[in-house]
Structure 1
Amino acid sequence: MRGRQDVRVPPEVAGACVDGTTFRSVMGAFPSGVTVVTTLGTGGAPLGVTCSATCSVSLDPPLLLVCLNRNSRVLSALVDRGQFIVNFLRDSRENTSSLFASSTADRFASAVWEPSRRGGLPLLVADSIAHAQCEVVGVIDAGDHTIVIGAAVDGNVHDDALGPLLYWRRRYGRWPAEDDTRTIALTLAAEG
């Protein structure tokens, strides 16, 4: 991994930025999937945190990114270990998302998990529709968060019949059932 990078906002741009409340509202208007990022900490203790800022970066090579709070214990452990798993939560797993977003010290005491094939990292199979295990290839500090870029070295879709857990305007939601999706598409086509 190359050295850690830092994004700096020039003073003339920083002075023109919208306030935090406005920015939170703007970003909340964009729905996202919900993930739990996991790794192992000191002594092999499992660590994890809820993350809605996850996206693919590249197909060749397969890269994704997660954005984590700079003060996160998980971030520090993840960078030190150089490995992490992104668990893509399935619908109806709001409790799992809330648990890993909480200040609960031992989040894994209430979670069902199993060790991954590569390195024994915490894998939340029962709560996820898929996972990607990554090796850290880039770390970029940006404001109060850090962007971690990972190369996917393993992954699996656990059940493609399940839908993802979604987050929009500070509320959880679900992807419409297949029949609902067809109805929506037909309605839009008829109106278009």
Structure 2
Amino acid sequence: MRLAEVTRGDTVAHRLLIRVISRVAGYRLPDAARVAFYDKAFAGPALGRWTQQAMRGESGWTVAERELMAAMVASWNSCPFCVGAHRAIAVHGIDPEIADAVLADYRTAPISERLRAALAFIERLTTDPGAVGAADAQAAMAAGLSRQDIEDAAAVASVFAVITRNANALDFDIPSAAEFDRAAGMLLRRGYS
């Protein structure tokens, strides 16, 4: 359900800010950014800090790998906005053909076994969280992941479990590929909080 307050801004100041940012950027400010302006208690600083830590904090995973993980969680949660947004960011550090191959089927994509193991772990965490157990973590470790690698991948999956559901529930508009790419540049420069 699209909330008018999210689309246009919930205050006069937010409406003006959304217009100015959209005009300066040269494209419609994505709904994900608009939500950040809407009622700070709804999706404000806490979600921004959590996302920033998961996506840009210290990790054995590159930014591009974490963005690709986010795109995969979005795919498993049927969130086209987040698939497009996070694929657009991932391809700044991963070949677009490889990113597309991962999104089509990570099991056969030309990626490292380490990344494949992380994706298998977070797929289970995303699609069948109640069944995740020690055997899943042991399989990931047997494929070369450290405990920290697993925790970092799980952090990405966890935050995007929330974000993808918000995006779907609020019926985010799907920007064009060019708009996703411009927004990706902004997120790479500014981060999530």
Using the size of structure 1 for normalisation, the TM-score is 0.26
If asked which structure has higher relative contact order (CA below 8 Å, sep 6+), I would say 2
* Larger Rg over CA atoms: 1
Higher strand share: 1
Higher helix share: 2
